[in-house]
Chains A and B, each alone.
Chain A
Amino acid sequence: MTLFVEQLANGLTVGAVYALVALGYTMVYGVMKLINFAHGELFMLGAYLGFTVLVSTALGGALPAGAALLVIILLAMGGVALLGLTVERVAYRPLQRANRLTAVVSALGVSIFLQNSAMLLWGPRYRAYPGWAVPDVRWSVAGVHVGLMQVLILAVALVLMLGLYYVIQRTFLGAAIRATAIDHDTARLMGINVDRIIQLIFVIGPALGAAAGVLLGLYYRQIHFTMGWSYGLKAFTAAIMGGIGNIPGAMVGGLLLGTLEMLGAGYLSAAWKDAFVFAILILLLIVRPTGLLGERVAEKV
């Protein structure tokens, strides 16, 4: 039982990170029907930007730890959002009218480009996140070990996700995003600036990914330029699990994937973990071909 609860806590922590990254995939997909393969790299760059801010500024001394952390996350989010906008402008907008697989290959090109940029800018070594940002506090309740960082990740992810959910469901802007996701032409007729909405999506998604990147760096204290590739694939899997294009689906999918992964590694074999996760995914898709929460936007082929 102790083991189970512990794995659950670990799974939810990793799952929260997956969910934040998955939101970026799912929002871009919902509005543009594009699998943005470069999204994982934006997440990775978020982690690196956070790292740079963390080691190069005197934030630690000037501000209380909590505020410093917030500033670092916000800076990384802002930087990566700008980058997301640039990527959209350079690599996707010229392809708006083309076959959607064309944009997928363009996205892969961007992914390779960004990954190698990070390698050249920060060097190919693993970089260690400084440990001072978050105190290494751990609690042991009834034999279950939980860390402060885990709580922090879940809290930040939850706040961001609820905030996003509120914006999408309750505000005028959210309505515009949803309308654009359903039909560009009709949305345009309703007076919605579709290009603006797409740009907005490329601000929100990468910003969330960047936050996830910083949190991950703080949690494991270690980042590498190739991590966007593997975490991106996992997050994409999570988005599909929940039903791509569906925002609550990405959140559920992320948490579910993280938990499955940890339970699989805990009770079966760590070496077979990824095979276990993908096998579950395929079984799930056989039973529910459009993921857990289906998709609200009908796919037009």
Chain B
Amino acid sequence: MARTAPRERLAQEETVGVRPPRPSTARARGLIGPALTLGAVVLGVAAPWLVSDYWVDVAVFWGIYALLGLSLNLIVGEVGLFNMGHTAFFAIGAYATVILNQAWGLSLWLLIPVAGFLAAAAGYGLSRPIIHLRGDYLLIATIGLNEILRVALLNNPRGLTGGPNGVILLDQFRLFGYGLDRPERFYYLVWGAVGLVVWGLLRLQRSRIGRAWNCVREDEVAAEAMGIDVRQAKLLAFVLGAGLAGAAGTLFAAKMVVVSPDSFTFMEAVILFAIVILGGMGSIPGVLVGSAAMMVLPELLRNFAQYRMLFFGAAMVVMMIFRPQGLWPSRRWKAQLAGEREP
């Protein structure tokens, strides 16, 4: 809708400062969070011994898409830039991984930052001319970028991308002589990466940059007036988001072995976008929950055979109707909503 009243109110609240909760509940709440986190971590570490390889692999893809969701959340969630072509950067990372590994035999560990850097550089170059576009114009421009890249991959320029067949990664992650290609080993690799990235992003959220981003999201004009370089802030988010997606591309390539254009369709870009909104814009735990909804839910629906995607589509609508702010909205949203209810 056109009216963005809650948002405006949020922006006010932000400048005034969130009302502090009462002390006693604050202490109790302060304990619940870490306890839940600890529980989740313990469960996460034990998980591969509790379930079959299949569910471990589901969790691996959940993790990879969580990383992608987190990277897109920087752009869509934190800064409010509508990017529906995020798979482009993911693809650049994945293809770069395979091609560079084949050409120069670079180790996959080294390729994580290399792929990240290349995707970030592409993110900078591609977003610079279009970053000033507003809302839906930016959305279609990013979709366009992704489609252009996909057509290029299909057409196999200079024999680099292997056309529709894609390229094959012959290497794998190794640690102390152990290959990490077994599902449970890869699971630890991916979720280790998720943990690291979440830790980094939580710090970033609380930093000056994070606050500047949110400020840009809520009101560009006000942000500009407060001395924030809006263009730089947006570009930085794009570059970081693209870089993170590129690095996730290395993990994806190692997991899939084959990297082909089928993995980077418009539909996949839409799934990434939905992960961020479904989880709750700007919410890091929201992205984890949102990616679970988009990755794990279709697996749970497998018994419905050909009806499975029908239910999945309906579930998306239902989730949005019952949780319009996202499955796990960012805490500031909650504070805002709680504040609204008090007289």
* Chain A residue, CB-CB nearest to B1: A96
Please give the distance in Å from A190's CB to the nearest CB on chain B: 16
* Chain A residue, CB-CB nearest to B320: A106
Q: Are B321 and A94 in contact (CB under 8 A)?
A: yes
Q: Are A285 and B4 in contact (CB under 8 A)?
A: no
Which residues of chain B from 93 to 133 have a CB within 8 Å of any chain A CB? 129-130, 132-133
Q: Which of B143, B270, B321 sits near A106, CB closer than 8 Å? A: B321
Interface membership of A99, Cβ < 8 A: yes
Chain A residues near B151 (CB, 8 Å)?
271-272, 274-275
Main secondary structure of the interface of A (DSSP, over half): helix
Q: Are B134 and A285 in contact (CB under 8 A)?
A: no
Q: Are B270 and A108 in contact (CB under 8 A)?
A: yes
A108 and B95 CA atoms in complex are apart in Å by: 28
Q: Which of A102, A244, A272, A278 sits near B320, CB closer than 8 Å? A: A102
Interface string of A96-116 (1 = CB under 8 A from B): 111111111110111111111
Interface membership of B338, Cβ < 8 A: no
Q: Which of B76, B129, B148, B154 sits near A286, CB closer than 8 Å? A: B129
Please give the distance in Å from A264's CB to the nearest CB on chain B: 11
Interface membership of A62, Cβ < 8 A: no
Q: Are B316 and A282 in contact (CB under 8 A)?
A: no
Interface membership of B3, Cβ < 8 A: yes
B-contacting 9-mer, from A46-54, A216-224, A232-240 = A232-240
Q: Are A281 and B141 in contact (CB under 8 A)?
A: yes
Q: Are B266 and A282 in contact (CB under 8 A)?
A: no
A66 and B1 CA atoms in complex are apart in Å by: 42
A290 and B140 CA atoms in complex are apart in Å by: 12
A120 and B314 CA atoms in complex are apart in Å by: 15
Q: Are A282 and B307 in contact (CB under 8 A)?
A: no
Interface membership of A227, Cβ < 8 A: no
Please give the distance in Å from A292's CB to the nearest CB on chain B: 12
Q: Are A300 and B147 in contact (CB under 8 A)?
A: no
* Chain B residue, CB-CB nearest to A198: B1
Q: How large is the interface on A (under 10, 10 to 19, 20 to 34, 35 or more residues)?
A: 35 or more
* Chain B residue, CB-CB nearest to A119: B306
Please give the distance in Å from B19's CB to the nearest CB on chain A: 22
Q: Are B3 and A95 in contact (CB under 8 A)?
A: no
Interface string of B138-150 (1 = CB under 8 A from A): 0111011101100
* Chain A residue, CB-CB nearest to B322: A94
Q: How large is the interface on B (under 10, 10 to 19, 20 to 34, 35 or more residues)?
A: 35 or more
Q: Are A98 and B325 in contact (CB under 8 A)?
A: yes
Please give the distance in Å from B295's CB to the nearest CB on chain A: 15
Which residues of chain A from 9 to 41 have a CB within 8 Å of any chain B CB? 29, 32-35, 37
Chain B residues near A97 (CB, 8 Å)?
1, 3, 6, 324
A32 and B136 CA atoms in complex are apart in Å by: 13
Interface membership of B317, Cβ < 8 A: yes
Interface membership of A131, Cβ < 8 A: no
A185 and B1 CA atoms in complex are apart in Å by: 11
Q: Are B136 and A240 in contact (CB under 8 A)?
A: yes
Q: Are A35 and B310 in contact (CB under 8 A)?
A: no
Q: Which of A105, A116, A240 sits near B309, CB closer than 8 Å? A: A116
Q: Which of B133, B267, B317 sits near A109, CB closer than 8 Å? A: B317
Given known A99-B324, A109-B320, A272-B151, contact A116–B277 (CB-CB < 8 A): no
Q: Which of B1, B143, B144, B273 sits near A100, CB closer than 8 Å? A: B1
Q: Are A274 and B147 in contact (CB under 8 A)?
A: yes
Chain B residues near A171 (CB, 8 Å)?
none
Interface membership of A184, Cβ < 8 A: yes
Q: Are A90 and B141 in contact (CB under 8 A)?
A: no
Interface membership of B55, Cβ < 8 A: no
A103 and B317 CA atoms in complex are apart in Å by: 9
Please give the distance in Å from A192's CB to the nearest CB on chain B: 14
Q: Are A289 and B137 in contact (CB under 8 A)?
A: yes
Q: Are B134 and A290 in contact (CB under 8 A)?
A: yes
Interface membership of B313, Cβ < 8 A: yes
A14 and B82 CA atoms in complex are apart in Å by: 28
Chain B residues near A271 (CB, 8 Å)?
151, 154-155
Q: Are A237 and B140 in contact (CB under 8 A)?
A: yes
Interface membership of B2, Cβ < 8 A: yes
A96 and B135 CA atoms in complex are apart in Å by: 18
Complex A-B: 26 CB contacts under 8 Å: A35-B139, A94-B324, A96-B1, A97-B3, A97-B324, A102-B277, A102-B326, A104-B273, A109-B320, A110-B317, A113-B313, A114-B313, A115-B313, A184-B1, A185-B3, A274-B151, A275-B151, A279-B144, A282-B130, A282-B141, A285-B133, A285-B141, A289-B133, A290-B137, A299-B135, A300-B4
- Residue ranges of A at the interface with B (Cβ–Cβ < 8 Å): 29, 32-35, 37, 90-91, 94-106, 108-117, 119-120, 183-185, 229, 233, 236-237, 240, 244, 271-272, 274-275, 278-279, 281-282, 285-286, 289-291, 299-301
